[in-house]
Amino acid sequence: MDDNKQLQYLVEKISKQFFEQPFKHKASFNRRLRTTGGRYLLTTHNLEFNPKMVKTADFVGIIKHELVHYHLHLNHQGYRHQDKDFKKLLIKVGGARYAPDIGKRQHAQHQWLYRCANGHRIIRKRKFPVARYRCGQCQSEIKFIGELSNK
């Protein structure tokens, strides 16, 4: 599945088959999604899906999950994960409770090393302006040393 037209057709087909209701809004891929399989947009009623999840076996389950949000919200029933209506319908249609982990979680890539005038080491995940801060142990000036190697 490469484009939004195929996705739209698949979502409409699954909606008819499992929910016996039409899907009247737009389904599309959103490449900015990292770890979520998809999302239902409350204001526009559109569905967005993670294109990285297409190749997983659970993609149809992810579509069903988002369609549960969609149909319950439009029928003014409990559409949130903790609602009984949501849990019951999700089990009935066989939707995925969670998106599978595809190994795309990002970990801290950098660690920055700073040293104060008295030699205290400060390791941070984010850079900061040294002119605005002092060492927390001795109140002396801080100097930026460089990136700490993760090896």
pLDDT tens, 49-73? 999 988 888 899 999 999 999 999 9
Please give the residue range of the domain that contains residue 128.
112-147
Total structural domains in the chain? 2
Task: Classify residue 21: in a domain, yes or no.
Answer: yes
Cα–Cα distance for residue pair 7/14, rounded to 1 Å: 11
Burial 8-24 (b: 16+ CB within 10 A, else e): bebbeebbeebbeeebe
- What CATH number should be reported for the domain holding residue 59? 3.30.2010.10
Give the pTM: 0.69
- Residue-wise pLDDT tens digits, 75-122: 999 999 999 999 999 999 999 998 888 776 666 578 999 999 999 999
Q: Which residues are catalytic?
A: 66
Q: Looking at the structure, do residues 82 and 138 belong to the same domain, yes or no?
A: no
Classify residue 127: in a domain, yes or no.
yes
Residues 88 and 122 in one domain: no
